[in-house]
Amino acid sequence: MTLLLEAAGVVRAVQVRRDGRRFRIAVDGREHLVDAVELEPGRWSLLLGPEGRSVEVRVRSDRAGGCTVFPGRGSLPVTIVDARREARRAAGVSRAGAAAASGDGRITAPMPGKVVRVLVAAGERVAARQALVVVEAMKMENELRSPRDGTVLEVLAREGASVEAGAPLLTIG
C-alpha cells in the first residue's frame, strides 16, 4: 500500500508492506524495518531498524481522515493526502491538467518520483496544455502539461532519472 502523508508541512510518499510480524516502510524510497505491536487501542510499541530501538507512540485519529501522532512529549499532525490533488498542487496543475510554471517559466516535479518520458526538446514550440514530461510517482504516471503557448528554453529532466518534489524539469519561455 502506498500513501502520500503530510506531516509538519512536508508531503512524503510512504509505502507500507507487511513482512511477517514486521513492516517494511519506505519513506520517499528509503526503507525502514519496523516491528509494531498495538498495546491497546491507539497505543503502539515500535522496534525500529536492525538494532531494534524501542519507541512507544500514541495515535489519535480525527474525523477528517488524518491523525495526530504523539511520539513522546510532542505531537505531530499527519494527514493522508489525495495523490492526484497533491500532484496538481505541487506542480501547479489546474483541473484542466495544465502545469503552472513559476514566474520564470519553470515546470517542476509534483512529488518525488522517476522521469519516465521527456516529450519535448529545447527550442521546440509548445501549445497550452501540450504534454511535456511524464513523471512516475507511487506507480502512477503524471503527465505534466504546458501552462501556456511558448518555446521550451531548457530541458533539465532526463529519462530514468529520480527527482525530488519541486525539482525543475524544464523551462518554458
Please compute, for residue 116, the number of CA atoms within 13 A of its CA located in the half-sphere on the CB side. Answer: 14
Pairwise CA distance, residues 17 & 108, whole Å: 29
* pLDDT at residue 159, as a whole number: 94
The neighbouring-strand residues paired with 125 are: 151
The pLDDT assigned to 128 comes to 86
pLDDT at 88: 52
Q: What is the pLDDT of residue 167?
A: 86
Confidence check: pLDDT of 69 > 80? yes
90, pLDDT greater than 70? no
Q: What confidence score (pLDDT) does residue 98 get?
A: 39
Give the DSSP H/E element, type plus range, for residue 91: helix 83-91
Same fold, 2-81 and 84-172: no
Phi, psi of 153 (to 5 degrees): -85, -35
Match domain 2-81 to its CATH number in 3.30.70.2190, 3.40.50.720, 3.30.700.30, 3.40.50.10860.
3.30.700.30
The predicted-structure confidence for 127-140, as pLDDT tens digits, reads as follows 988 889 998 887 77
pLDDT computed for residue 99 by the predictor = 46
Q: What is the pLDDT of residue 82?
A: 63
**pLDDT at residue 116, rounded to an integer:** 93
Q: How would residue 76 be classed by pLDDT, with cut points 50, 70 and 90? A: confident
Q: For residue 121, what pLDDT is reported?
A: 94
C-alpha cell at 140: 502512477
Higher-confidence residue of 160 and 80: namely 160
Q: CA-CA distance, 173 to 50, in Å (whole number)? A: 50
Give just the sign of the alpha carbon dihedral 79, 82, 83, 87.
negative
Q: Where are the domains of the chain?
A: 2-81, 84-172
Backbone angles phi, psi at 24, to 5 degrees: -100, 115
**Fold assignment, 84-172:** OB fold (Dihydrolipoamide Acetyltransferase, E2P) (2.40.50)
Q: What is the pLDDT of residue 95?
A: 38
Query: Which comes out higher in pLDDT, residue 21 or 48?
Result: 48
What's the average model confidence in pLDDT over 59-76? 82
